Amino acid sequence: MLNPVFANLPAHTWTQLRALLNGVPAGRNDPLDLTIGEPRHPMPAFINEVLEANSADYAKYPPIQGTPAWQQAVAAWLERRYGLTGIDPDRHVLPVAGTREGLFSIAFIAVPPRKAGQQPTVLMPNPFYQCYAAAALSAGAEPVYLPATAETGFLPDFASLGEDELARAALVYLCTPANPQGTVASQDYFDTLIGLCRRHDITLVVDECYGEIYTDAPPVGALEACRSMARRGLGDPADPYANVLSFQSLSKRSNVPGLRSGFVAGDPRLIAAYRELRSYGGAPSPLPVYAAAAAAWNDEAHVDGNRVLYRAKFDAAERILQGRFGAYRPGGGFYLWLDVGDGEAAAKALWSRAGVRVLPGAYLARPDGSGYNPGAAYIRVALVNSLEVTELALQSIRDTLETVDAR
């Protein structure tokens, strides 16, 4: 009765964490949860106001392509944020019900039954966002996990693959700023990767859901990189986004993960095919959600305030940890990626001794052919709580781990 392809799915992150901590009492009465990347900053007040003002529209079927106001807001934001020009919402943009849903379903468009006469592959970083692997398997492809470790600058080295390996590849997933390491892909990195994808007829899907959370310079965007390449003669100015799709979300940017609103933008041929697929099985946002999303994309003040809150928490992390466990300030995102020697042992100790819940890095990665898991030595710490809770948790992490020999 069951499709056997899903027997190869990675064990889900939260299933593994529950198994690790099952039956282990917390070390405090009010545990501190720093596992899930769910923003807990206040939702902008205008979101609820717009939803209520448009509540009568729940009685209408929403359009797959979004409303004109939503399309205009997204196009204007792309041009404002990345310096793009000529964004045509009908050709370049499509809404998704949160980026996870979109990142999963895009594989059904981007992965053909065969490539180079073989089962196609989908390339992704290791560690990785778990839906990438599920998408690859669901589309009939073989997931290929490329190490994204300190030795590679915490970004995968796709160019290290041989010609035969690249010929089989149908789709590349990249997250920048990276989850969990916070590394930001540079223009040079994009130049190499986009050029590689175009030469080998690979779709590049860039997950940029953390792109609005940063300390210093705004991260380079995938479509921004495409435009830069076209200006420098490294792409076709008439088709600057060929092979490239960028996924963006309001979840982290605007602290509305429950709104389930994002979009994909880029190559118009891929957008057209994806729109056709979504006409059958997509999940369009309700009209009030489109209205609230348009308001969020049109407003920058709440995003600026959001970044101030995250900067304060990274300041606290630098002050409290002072570089212990390899702590560093990431280029973007809201995670700490701490080298504790044994992530599972550290996570269990933090829960049982301090009541602090963190995620073992091994649960975000897959072992390679030799059995090496690039996340095994790490824990991921999500700085999504208030500054007060974050400081308390970081002090507990520091004090507890200094007494635990996880190595």
Q: What integer is the mean pLDDT of 212-239?
A: 96
322-349 residue pLDDT tens: 999 999 999 999 999 999 999 999 999 9
Contact predicate 383/310, CB 8 Å: yes
pLDDT of residue 405: 59
Reported residue count of the chain is 407
Domain 4-42+302-401: CATH superfamily is Aspartate Aminotransferase, domain 1 (3.90.1150.10)
pLDDT of residue 404: 76
Q: Would you place residue 217 in the very low, low, confident or very high pLDDT band (cuts 50, 70, 90)?
A: very high
As given in the structure block, the two tokens for residue 342 are 């044994």
- Of 2-11, 54-63, 203-212, the one with minimum mean pLDDT is 2-11
d(CA 228, CA 314): 31
Secondary structure letter of residue 5 according to DSSP: G
Q: How many CA within 13 A on the CB side of residue 35?
A: 23
As given in the structure block, the two tokens for residue 287 are 């009209």
> What is the model's pTM?
0.96
User: Got the DSSP string for 214-255?
Assistant: BSSSPPPPHHHHHHHHHHTTSS-TTSTTTTEEEEEEHHHHTT
What is the Cα Rg of the chain in Å? 21
Contact predicate 234/191, CB 8 Å: yes
Pairing label, strands 244-249, 169-175: unpaired
Q: Would you place residue 77 in the very low, low, confident or very high pLDDT band (cuts 50, 70, 90)?
A: very high
146-186 residue pLDDT tens: 999 999 999 999 999 999 999 999 999 999 999 999 999 99
Cβ count within 10 A of residue 239: 13
Q: What integer is the mean pLDDT of 354-367?
A: 97
pLDDT at 407 over 80: no
Instruction: CATH 3.40.640.10 in the chain: give the residue spans.
Output: 58-299
As given in the structure block, the two tokens for residue 46 are 């205008």
Decide if domain 58-299 falls under CATH 3.40.640.10.
yes
Pairing label, strands 335-339, 121-126: unpaired
Q: What integer is the mean pLDDT of 76-102?
A: 97
Q: What is the residue type of 219?
A: P
Cβ count within 10 A of residue 3: 8
pLDDT at 2 over 90: no
Q: What integer is the mean pLDDT of 229-239?
A: 96
Instruction: CATH 3.90.1150.10 in the chain: give the residue spans.
Output: 4-42+302-401
pLDDT over 90, % of the chain: 95
118-157 residue pLDDT tens: 999 999 999 999 999 999 999 999 999 999 999 999 999 9
- 373: Cβ contacts below 8 Å, ≥ 6 apart: 362, 365, 366, 367
> If you average pLDDT over every residue of the chain, what do you get?
96
pLDDT of residue 406: 47
Q: What integer is the mean pLDDT of 383-405?
A: 94
